[in-house]
């Protein structure tokens, strides 16, 4: 058991150095979000102001990655056995319910991918909510993000957009996202929790 922990810790340390660019960019998010948004492009200014507003007016969130489930129809059993599906990691974000009652947030989290490599993720999420936010409610929406993976372009940052859904009780949230794919790739359900405070 100790050797497994040592191997996981060593793998985490080795892969953190490859993710420095993405992490470094993500750590600049608070500075960028609070900076004045003034470019020659109205849509960039609008997006910048929106992110800045979420950062400044939103509440804090703790993200806890939970599980990566590879849909069994898309993989051979040998491949499934080689994957790590328990997704340890941690994240931080800020979010709010907007004037329409929908949830929107920005976040940074890092977690172990299916090959025990660190995968950082910096993104924006939006969910249309159903039910009173003071009690049990559910949401469906999307997340747009920047991530990096050791097995895709050697950790070069890549953008993405995925559907997300959640079940929420007050400030507690259980979320999932679906990663589409084909035979032997994608077809993944990723689960994480979010705690607002």
- Residue 24 burial (CB < 10 Å; 0-12/13-18/19+)? exposed
Instruction: Calculate the alpha carbon distances from 82 to 65, 76, 115, 190, 192 in Å.
Output: 20, 10, 8, 17, 22
Q: Which residue has the tokens 């080795």?
A: 14
Cβ atoms of residues 159 and 144 within 8 Å: yes
Q: Which of 114, 148, 173, 177 is catalytic?
A: 114
Copy the structure tokens of residue 42: 């109205």
Phi and psi torsions of 125, nearest 5°: -130, 150
Q: Is 70 a catalytic residue?
A: yes
Q: Which of 61, 70, 137, 177 is catalytic?
A: 70
Q: Which of 112, 113, 137, 177 is catalytic?
A: 113
Question: How many C-beta neighbours within 10 Å does residue 25 have?
Answer: 16
By annotation, the residues acting in catalysis are: 70, 113-114
């Amino acid at each position: 058991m100790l050797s497994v922990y040592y191997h996981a810790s060593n793998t985490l340390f080795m892969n953190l150095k490859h993710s420095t660019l993405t992490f470094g960019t993500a750590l600049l998010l608070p500075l960028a979000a609070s900076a004045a948004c003034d470019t020659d492009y109205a849509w960039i200014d609008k997006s910048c102001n929106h992110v800045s507003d979420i950062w400044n007016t939103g509440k804090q969130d703790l993200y806890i990655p939970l599980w990566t489930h590879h849909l069994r129809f898309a993989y051979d059993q040998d491949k499934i056995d080689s994957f790590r599906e328990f997704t340890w990691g941690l994240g931080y974000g800020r979010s709010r319910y907007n004037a329409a009652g929908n949830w929107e947030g920005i976040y940074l989290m890092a977690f172990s991918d299916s090959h025990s490599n660190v995968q950082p993720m910096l993104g924006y999420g939006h969910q249309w909510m159903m039910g009173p936010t003071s009690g049990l409610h559910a949401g469906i929406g999307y997340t747009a993000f920047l991530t990096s993976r050791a097995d895709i372009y050697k950790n070069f940052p890549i953008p993405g957009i995925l559907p997300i859904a959640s079940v929420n009780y007050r400030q507690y949230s259980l979320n999932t996202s679906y990663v589409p794919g084909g035979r032997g790739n994608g077809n993944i359900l990723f689960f994480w929790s979010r705690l607002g405070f």
